[in-house]
Amino acid sequence: MSIFVNNNKNLEFHLTNNKISYIITVLKNNQIGNIYFGKAIKHRESFDHLMINRCCVLAPYNFEDDMDFSLETTRCEYPVFGKGDYRKEAFNIKDENGSTVNYPTFVSYSIYKGKEEYSKLPSTYCENEEDITTLEILLEDKVQKYQIILKYHLFENYGSISRSSKFINLSKHKLELNKALSFNLDFDSNNFNLLTLDGAWTRERHINERALLPGIIQIESLRGASSANHNPSLILKDKNTLDENTNDAYGFSLIYSGNFEANVQVDTYNTTRVQMGINSSTFKWILSPNETFQTPEALICFSNNGINGLSNTFHRTIENHIIKSKYKNKVRPILLNNWEATYFNFTEDKLLQLASKAKEVGVELFVLDDGWFGERNDDTSSLGDWYTNTSKLPNGIGELAKKIKDIGLKFGLWFEPEMINIKSKLYKENPNWVISTPNRESCFGRNQFVLDFTNDEVVEYIYSKMSIIISDTKLDYIKWDMNRNITEPFSNLLSKDQQGEFFHRYILGVYKLYEKLTKEFPNVLFESCASGGGRFDLGMMYYAPQAWCSDDTDAIERLKIQYGTSLVYPISTIGSHVSAIPNHQVGRNTSLKFRSDVAYFGTFGYELDITTMSNEEIEKIKDDIKFFKEYRELIQFGDFVRLESPFKGNTCSWMVISKDKKTAILAYYKILATANPPLNKIKLKGLDNNLLYKIENNHFYGDELMNVGFNLEIPFNGTARSEYYKGKITTGTDFGDFTSQLYIIKAE
Ligand code: DGJ
């Protein structure tokens, strides 16, 4: 891995490892331009010949004698407004005189091994400084007197770099930072399809794909959280690529959990501009003299093995350079959560019964969800009152924790730290801690309001209350929920001019609490949650190595949700549970086998009343947990490959392959049954061509499975041959709607 510097007429920087090349240059006007980003190319002493300078009639040009140099068509690294580039700028600073024309130019650069973590923000990191090389480019606007440091972090082992920007006010007056995106990347074609992960509560991260045409596609959040509606990630893939395994794919994911914007702009010269960062429509930061502003970081990945290759790059970079917990690269405990088993209606006895049964079947962690605190018996009260609800737990939460641990399980608790109910002691004592706008009625949301986390006093208070409970219970796990978005954004603590800082300061407050808790209690496993997957982002993942993927626990719906989530996020981060039937969100009945076969591909756990299940079901759960314990390392940290998309048809399949390629699992799901179906042959991926694999009682070489393909069973094709009529399969499990099959593939 290297960052080469070509010291020619134009300074060039070539960031490369054996997977990617990212080449930038100091342009003729001393701004920074992009020459290339994609598959690694060999280094040479100059890349000047790859630059495209073209004269476009009527385009403004920056030098009187050179019509070919116009920012209108230049591939810019951090573009500005007002100097000839009419596409979207990456940042905007308003001068004292009201001008918004910005023109910072190159001053110097530095290159060093390793990376400093950003203060107050989650960011990528390395344990060994050989794993990241950093390039910092210093720009200065001599008129407005500010500097920008463009930061580039190149990862040694993956096709990934990350980027961010830092602003420094050198002037003697305040500057208004009205837009400060994390990065900008220009491509000289629009030969891409764009994939985004969109949805809503209970249908998060559904894949939407479209071809790029001139104009702007923006996804964003204005909710105070990254949101279930649009995930802060974008993927570009070569147009016309139908599969997930071939051609170039570029991925972008913001390490941020608040309001974001992600823009893809195609201009009329068919150039494509990708940008991401804090949402500029709810952002204005007042930068006092000598103050600095660091943007969130964005992870940028590339693969020329299609979206599957890209996902692998994302997964590995996230596992090794973003997830920071003690659980980094460690299998996750199998849990039982009481939410869908009891909702608010539980007693200590009931919880202990659930825990005992959980222990019997092989569960490792018992999680007590909402309702254990204050006077909370439904969702109308007590958020903020983080002490035991003694009407339900008369012996106290510490005692319950002890009993659960005596059963032989780890103990976890649900918190919703950022929220408050009007019906709470906290509200009586501190009504001014609620976010609201003076003279405006407040909107309602799940009977609760959001605490002003821009206020340090609030963060410290919640920290102190949570710490008491964590210590008292010797807690092993926290589910950190967040169930309402911000309305009436305003903080009493911020001046009139600073209200534009509100949303960013809010999320900095959330990060501060996470930082304090994870530092103080490093053994606690955090699972983030926001009504399911409403804040499933890399910012959260830095602190919480797993996230509750969706409140939709229906296994059929989960196929799409988990499939979409896997585009960017590692399998070990995807919170997935087996729940009861009829399913509580859609009323569907699926077999226990089907539900397990889907939930395995994540953290795996249960969220149903196992004390009322039949012996047969309990035996099946025991077997399933045994199976999962045997294969969870492979499932959570193997190479995950998507084979058939549930967004495209009636079947879904994926596989995981061990790093040594000796073990793999193929998972195949059929949504609706069809009689006498056509042949169903799947070409497997990621195996070793030369290894002889056993699947059930058959043997295949890797090259056969990957090139000839693997034939899936046909459960029903006429009475003569059907396994059903031979009594080998039974309705509702292998036969009928909603069936699944896991194939264990082992090298002999
Ligand atoms: C929303 C979460 O997503 C659920 O899993 C559950 O914890 C409820 N909140 C509790 O109120």
Beta bridge partners of 139: 106, 148
Is residue 575 packed enough to be buried (19+ CB in 10 Å), middle (13-18) or exposed (0-12)? buried
| Rounded Cα gap, residues 201 and 692, in angstroms | 45
> Mean pLDDT for the chain?
95
- Provide Rg for the chain, Cα atoms: 27
Q: What is the pLDDT of residue 326?
A: 96
Nearest to 222 by CA among 504, 548, 539, 564: 504
Q: What is the pLDDT of residue 502?
A: 98
| From 551, 554, 624, 734, active-site residue | 551
Q: Are 510 and 535 in contact (CB under 8 A)?
A: no
Give the single-character DSSP code of 344.
Answer: T
Ligand 1 probe mutation, 414, 419, 546, most atoms within 8 A of CB = 414
Ligand 1 probe mutation, 389, 548, 585, most atoms within 8 A of CB = 548
Q: What is the pLDDT of residue 674?
A: 83
The arithmetic mean of pLDDT across residues 5-17, rounded, is 95
| Rounded Cα gap, residues 363 and 355, in angstroms | 9
Ligand 1 nearest-atom number relative to CA 414: 7
The arithmetic mean of pLDDT across residues 369-381, rounded, is 98
Output the CA 140–ligand 1 centroid distance in Å.
48
H or E segment to which residue 400 belongs? helix 397-407
Per residue in 257-269, pLDDT (tens digit) is 999 999 999 999 9
Q: Is 456 annotated in the active site? A: no
| Rounded Cα gap, residues 261 and 279, in angstroms | 5
Q: Are 508 and 247 in contact (CB under 8 A)?
A: no
| Rounded Cα gap, residues 74 and 81, in angstroms | 13
Output the CA 456–ligand 1 centroid distance in Å.
26
Ligand 1 probe mutation, 481, 528, 548, 608, most atoms within 8 A of CB = 481
Three-class SS state of 129: helix
One-letter identity of residue 721 = R
Q: Is 481 annotated in the active site? A: yes
| Rounded Cα gap, residues 310 and 689, in angstroms | 22
Angle at 484 between CA 481 and CA 485, to 5 degrees: 120
Three-class SS state of 126: coil
Q: What is the pLDDT of residue 719?
A: 54
Ligand 1 nearest-atom number relative to CA 551: 3
Least confident of 7-11, 217-221, 379-383, 423-427: 7-11
Three-class SS state of 708: helix
Residues 6+ apart with CB under 8 A from 37: 20, 21, 22, 23, 185, 187, 250, 300, 302
User: Which residue's structure tokens are 């020329």?
Assistant: 304
Angle at 199 between CA 202 and CA 276, to 5 degrees: 130
| Rounded Cα gap, residues 118 and 483, in angstroms | 28
Is residue 504 packed enough to be buried (19+ CB in 10 Å), middle (13-18) or exposed (0-12)? buried
Q: Residue 92's Cα: distance from chain center in Å? A: 27
Tokens of 192: 């891409």
More confident residue, 51 or 357: 357
Burial string for 689-701 (b: 16+ CB within 10 Å, else e) reads eebebebeeeebb
Give the single-character DSSP code of 139.
Answer: E
| CA–CA distances in Å: residue 362 to residues 336, 368, 407, 412, 549 | 10, 17, 12, 16, 23
One-letter identity of residue 368 = L
Q: What is the pLDDT of residue 589?
A: 96
Ligand 1 nearest-atom number relative to CA 379: 11
Q: Are 374 and 403 in contact (CB under 8 A)?
A: no
Per residue in 451-500, pLDDT (tens digit) is 999 999 999 999 999 999 999 999 999 999 999 999 999 999 999 999 99
| Rounded Cα gap, residues 102 and 664, in angstroms | 54
Beta bridge partners of 260: 278
How many helices and strands, by DSSP H and E, does the chain display?
A: 12, 39
The arithmetic mean of pLDDT across residues 146-154, rounded, is 98
pLDDT band at 402 (very low <50, low <70, confident <90, very high): very high
Output the CA 531–ligand 1 centroid distance in Å.
6
| Rounded Cα gap, residues 361 and 624, in angstroms | 9
| Rounded Cα gap, residues 73 and 52, in angstroms | 9
Output the CA 548–ligand 1 centroid distance in Å.
9
Q: What is the pLDDT of residue 622?
A: 98
Per residue in 621-676, pLDDT (tens digit) is 999 999 999 999 999 999 999 999 999 999 999 999 999 999 999 999 999 988 87
Angle at 541 between CA 540 and CA 546, to 5 degrees: 110
| From 481, 537, 624, 734, active-site residue | 481
| CA–CA distances in Å: residue 445 to residues 22, 105, 483 | 45, 47, 8
The arithmetic mean of pLDDT across residues 124-140, rounded, is 97
Output the CA 367–ligand 1 centroid distance in Å.
12
pTM of the model: 0.97
Tokens of 182: 């994390």
Beta bridge partners of 367: 337, 412
| Rounded Cα gap, residues 741 and 734, in angstroms | 8
Q: What is the pLDDT of residue 625?
A: 98
Nearest to 366 by CA among 321, 315, 402: 402
pLDDT band at 53 (very low <50, low <70, confident <90, very high): confident
| Rounded Cα gap, residues 666 and 655, in angstroms | 4
Taking CB atoms and a 6 Å cutoff, what residues make up the pocket around ligand 1? 339, 369-370, 414, 481, 483, 529, 531-532, 548, 551
Count other Cβ atoms within 10 Å, centred on residue 672. Answer: 11
pLDDT band at 680 (very low <50, low <70, confident <90, very high): confident
pLDDT band at 55 (very low <50, low <70, confident <90, very high): confident
Residues 6+ apart with CB under 8 A from 273: 79, 87, 88, 184, 185, 186, 187, 263, 264, 265, 266, 267
| Rounded Cα gap, residues 658 and 294, in angstroms | 39
**Alpha helix positions (H), 490-530:** 502-520
| Rounded Cα gap, residues 480 and 505, in angstroms | 19
Output the CA 623–ligand 1 centroid distance in Å.
28
Nearest to 529 by CA among 479, 486, 485: 479
